[in-house]
Structures are given as structure tokens and as C-alpha cells.
Structure 1
């Protein structure tokens, strides 16, 4: 068995058929599909069982209700018989060549691999296609960004268990938690530019309701009045041009440093310096520094004995947010200088 595909589901009903059919349509045929029903109480199990009767490579595994995907994914890993494990969320679909692309990466000696994705809304409208730059991989990039959704990822069997398996996260970011632990363990990810996954973006889902629970401090003040004055100064949109310039200069320097320390370029992208520079400029143009609001994730947070300006982040834990803050201060030197210049004048 080449691939074991782990698909956790809960009350997806007949809609899961499109997901299952996308596995049945894979050009690489040597796989098993483990659909782990997390205590579904609608007709999901019946629909999956029908697919299992039609194709013995499909298996239905039923479990008690966990209320999150980590438990079902771990059960799927325990039942997996393949050389490689791939993940598929129950509302996503794969292009027919998805497993073949992952197989090429994993058979080349890497233990962890991922592809690009096309993100669509509930009406099927394309919202975003992963640009090649966003599929560049490095431990520092993995620290700063989740990079992949589960449906994009595969790894050699047993790898997830080596770092503790899937864990329930109060932040709801179980996937980022696992990818980060793999990076911390020294596991490198091979990526492919091919957008072989269609991922549903639905505000009604659990992922669509994630809250930024953690953050890193930009500065602290003795009282709320001083913090509000600093907040207004940093949010002044007259500084948009300076903020964009600082961001672009920092990103160019950071990626140049990463290129000398193991940066993974996705296969299928001829990424010479001009292509990388152009992609970085496009990233800056699409960044959260906009004409209407400057640094929208900046917030005033009362703390014991002081009031802080904090960049709120949807990340794994406060320890993770602290690591992001430390790396930001190290690599975003021009932005940090801009902060200091603005705050020094308040």
C-alpha cells in the first residue's frame, strides 16, 4: 500500500461523496482511504459505507465524539497500512494527480511534503490560489505561518507519531502545531507548486471562527492614556508608504538570508532572484498594511501593572507567539526602527 489517506468527518452527509470521489479518481491507484467518523449522527456513515461496498480501498472507522479532528486523525494513523500518510478534510477535494505529486516528493528522500491549493467559497468561486512564494519552506517560515492546510500534506508513515501525533489545541490550530513540532525536530518539507487541492473556505466552519488569543508586545506604557496615544500614532495612515517600504526591505533581506540556510523552493517554480523579488513585491502589495488601516492586528491590552500594545496572532500558544515576536524583532529591523521612531515622538 503506497498511501493511507486519513479523512476525519462529522455530519457531512451526502456532501462527503465529492471528497471520496476525488480520491477514487486519483491517477495513482495504490491507496486506502480511512474515513474516521467522529460520532456522526446523520447519514454520513451510510454514505461512506456505500462507497466502501463499491470499492474495498475505502474504509469507514467510527469513533465516539471528540469534537475536534485530532482524535480521529490519530485513530486513522493507528489503522494506516501505507508507506505514506496523506490527509484530506471532509469538505476538500483533490485533483487527480495529487497523490502522484506527493509521491514524487516523498520518493525523492524527503519525509514531509505538501502541494499548493485553490481556495473556494461555498458557491465555488475561486478566492485564492497559493502563489509559489507562499510554498517556500524553511523552519523560520514555518514558525511564522501555518503555510499548509492538512489536505495539502503527506508524510512517511510513523513521522507524526515521532513528535507526539496530533494534539488538541485550544487555539484550534492543530495542523500548525504538528507542522511546527516537525520543523523543531529538524524535519524538512519538500513542496510542489502544483495547486492540486481544492479547499473550502466557509466562515461557518470551526476554522472560520478562530480567534486571535495570543500576541507579542510591541511596547508597554504606565497607563491607558499613553497607550492610546501611541496606538493612534502607529495607526496613522500617513505612514503607510514608510511602513510598506520597511516591510519590503525587511522581506528582501530575510529571504536572502534564508536562501543561504536551507530555503526550500517549490518544485515547478523557476525561482531566480528576479522572480523572488517580484513575488516579494506582490506580497507587500497584498499585505495587511493598507490605505484604510495600518497594522489591523495591533491592540491595546491591559496587563498587570502596565498597558501594552500587542500584535494579536492566531497561533498555537503564547509560547509560540513569543517566538514569533522574537523572530520578528530580529528579522524585521526596518519595521522595528519605524516603531521606535514613531513611539519616541509620542
Structure 2
């Protein structure tokens, strides 16, 4: 019997999007899956939409919070009730490619890394671009420098429970915080080549509040993981926060960067800032 995989989907007032997300899981080539949708108190028809998708090979389970818990709280509810040996997540505004779960299970069963990931197709009005698609080992040092995983991993449900799931207190970078704790607890993971996750950039819903929330998230992350982060890591993460918040950078700040990928991104926003002065 193939192992059961739990896929958690937190949602809030996105009935027009969550249907696509659930259907992308139901359309997987791998069939032994349970979808756990946790609704954070929606006032739209999310419950009706999700329950209309019950049936077929894939089990769809629905939970609704009486009190708002946020995305991390929803994920933790799903982790609590998950029955699968393995677990992974999906945001309600994104979707899986049809082979994602099968690719993960096949690789995990043969290689037994404690957690794995794959690339992301970022899809917007101007077309697609792909990141995190090069295969390779993911080390703790890699994760101290940057979130080299993205927004989802595939691991055992036991592993997620052992690290305590997601941190409700974190204002931002919640995924990143969770992956870093997985690496600190269990060691190296692995990124499979290719991209099996589609993240939509332009759908009229905000993913995260910029500026203050990101700043608070960055500071929370640095303080929480101070024992793991050296000076280079802290500097690199600072610039990643600045880029995410689209804040202006000084030329002297740019010159202190040693991470090529971050430097190129930072240069882009520095030049953008000059052009708009």
C-alpha cells in the first residue's frame, strides 16, 4: 500500500481561488492523498465550495476556526489532525503540477532525506519565471543565508510535529523559520530538480503587508535564531528583508554584500530608487 500523504491548505475568504488549489491536489497522479482545508473564519462561501469537492479518490477534509488563528494557526490545526505518514502544504491561491506528490514520494522513499523541496513557477501577467529548480543538498548553512526552499517542503508528519509546527508568534518569514528549525533538528535536506509548484503573483489579493510587518518579521527571526546566524548571515538577511519590503538601499550598503544573488537583486532596487528620485 502506498503511504498516505496529507496536504494542508489554509484559507480565508478566497473561495474563488481555493477551488483551483484543491482540484490541483485531486488531479495528482499519486492518489493516496488527503486534503486538509482549514478555514480561518471566512464570511464567503468557502465552506460550500470546499465541501462540493468531496468525493473521488482523494479525501477532502474541512475544518473551520471559530476564532481567527492566522495562516500558521491553520497549518498547525492541519498538522494536528493529519493522518498521513507524509505531509506538505499548498497556499490557497497556488496549485500543484499533476506529478508533484508522486515525484516527492518516489524520491523520499528511495533517499530518505528528512525533508525535500522542488522549484517554483512564479506566474504573473508578464509570464512565468522559475526559481529554486536546481537539484542539490540543502544544508543548515544554506538556510542560514537565505530561504533556499521557498514556501513549501515535503517531510514526515512526525517531523513537523516534533519541531512544533509553525510559530504563531512570527509576524513574517513563518515558512523560512520552520524550514530552518527542520534543518537544525534533522540535518540536510534535498531539492529535487525541476519545478512542480505554481505560485500566482497577480490575482487581486495581497499575500503579505509590506514594510512594517516584514521589518517585524525580520527582527523576530534574527532574535529567535541568533545562536545559528553569523555576521555574514545577518547582513545577507537584512538585505533580503530590504528587497522584500522594496525599501531604498544606499550604494555603500550595496558594497558590503558578498552574496552574488542578493547583490544583483539589491542593485536592481538601488537603480530603481535612483530613477524615481
TM range (shorter): 0.7 to 0.9
Give the equivalent residue in structure 1 for 2:145: 144
> Residue deviations 1:75-98, cap 9 Å, x none?
111111111001011001000000
8 A Cα contact 1:91 1:199, kept in partner:
yes
Change (3 A) 1:233 1:20: closer
- Flag structure 2 segments of 5+ consecutive residues without an equivalent: 223-233, 237-248
Alpha-carbon separation, structure 2, partners of 1:295 and 1:133: 31
TM superposition outliers: structure 1 runs of 4+ over 3 Å: 53-56, 131-136, 213-218, 283-287, 290-296
Give the equivalent residue in structure 2 for 1:160: 160
Give the equivalent residue in structure 1 for 2:119: 116
Q: Determine if the alignment matches structure 1 residue 234 to structure 2 residue 252.
A: yes
Between the two proteins, the alignment pairs up a number of residues equal to 241
Length-normalised TM-score, structure 2: 0.75
Question: Could you say which structure has the larger radius of gyration?
Answer: 1
8 A Cα contact 1:4 1:32, kept in partner:
yes
Alpha-carbon separation, structure 1, partners of 2:269 and 2:201: 26
Alpha-carbon separation, structure 1, partners of 2:235 and 2:42: 42
Change (3 A) 1:200 1:148: farther
Length-normalised TM-score, structure 1: 0.61
Give the equivalent residue in structure 2 for 1:196: 196
Change (3 A) 1:132 1:286: farther
SS at match of 1:114: strand
8 A Cα contact 2:11 2:92, kept in partner:
yes
Alpha-carbon separation, structure 1, partners of 2:178 and 2:160: 7
Give the equivalent residue in structure 2 for 1:318: none
> Residue deviations 1:211-240, cap 9 Å, x none?
23338689xxxxxxxxxxxx97726xxxx8
SS at match of 1:51: coil
SS at match of 1:86: strand
Match of 1:63 among 59, 62, 65: 65
Compute the displacement of 1:37 (Å): 1.0
Compute the displacement of 1:291 (Å): 9.1
Alpha-carbon separation, structure 2, partners of 1:233 and 1:83: 50
8 A Cα contact 2:35 2:58, kept in partner:
no
Change (3 A) 1:56 1:287: closer
Q: Determine if the alignment matches structure 1 residue 287 to structure 2 residue 265.
A: yes
Correspondence 1:1-346 to 2 at 5 A: 1-53=3-55, 57-107=59-109, 108-121=111-124, 123=125, 125-132=126-133, 137-150=138-151, 152-202=152-202, 204-207=205-208, 209=210, 210-213=213-216, 214=219, 234=252, 243=255, 283=261, 286-290=264-268, 292-293=270-271
8 A Cα contact 1:201 1:208, kept in partner:
no
SS at match of 1:168: coil
